[in-house]
Amino acid sequence: MSPLTAEPDAVAVESALARHTAARAVYAGPVLIGIFALIDGWAGAWSSALGVAVVAVNFLLAGAILSISARISLAAYHAAALFGFFLRLGLMVLAVALIARLAPINRPAFGISAVAAYLGLLTWEAVAVSRGRERSLDWTG
C-alpha cells in the first residue's frame, strides 16, 4: 500500500489540516473584521467577513480535493495538487466577481482581508505543524 493510499480508518491528513486552518479563521476573522469596521463601518466589516469566508472555503476545498485524490493514486494526488490550485484560483476569481457584482462591498477591505487571512492562516498552520501541535495527524504510517 502506498504512503498516500488511505486505509479505511485512517485520518485524511489533508482534510484535517484544512479543517484546522479554516477553524482558526474564527480567531483571525474577528480581528480583521473589527479593523475594517473601525475604518469603514458596516461596509468594511461585511466586506472583510466575506473575504475571510472565501479564504476558509478555499482551504476546505483544497483539503477535500487532496484527500480524495490521495485515496486514488500518487499520480492523481500530484495532478490534484497542481490542477486543483488553478481550479481553486479560478473559483476564487469567480466568487470575487460574483460578490462584487451582487453585493455592495468595499473592495479594498475585501481584498486586504482575503490576502491577510490567507497568508496569516497558512503561516499559523505551518507553525503549528512544525512545532508538533498537530499530533493527531499521523501521516508517517
pLDDT of residue 137: 61
The residues spanned by each domain of the chain are 13-128
Q: Is the pLDDT of residue 141 over 90?
A: no
Mean pLDDT value of segment 124-134: 82
Q: pTM above the 0.85 mark?
A: no
pLDDT of residue 7: 54
pLDDT of residue 5: 47
14 vs 67: CA distance, rounded Å: 5
Q: Model confidence at 54, in pLDDT bands (50, 70, 90)?
A: very high
Residue 111: CB atoms within 10 A of its CB come to 15
More confident residue, 134 or 57: 57
pLDDT of residue 105: 87
Mean pLDDT value of segment 116-132: 89
The winner for highest mean pLDDT among 29-38, 61-70, 130-139 is 29-38
Residue 105 near residue 50 (C-beta atoms within 8 A): yes
Q: Model confidence at 6, in pLDDT bands (50, 70, 90)?
A: very low
Mean pLDDT value of segment 12-25: 88
Mean pLDDT score across all residues of the chain: 85
83 vs 61: CA distance, rounded Å: 13
* 109 closest CA partner among 32, 48, 39: 48
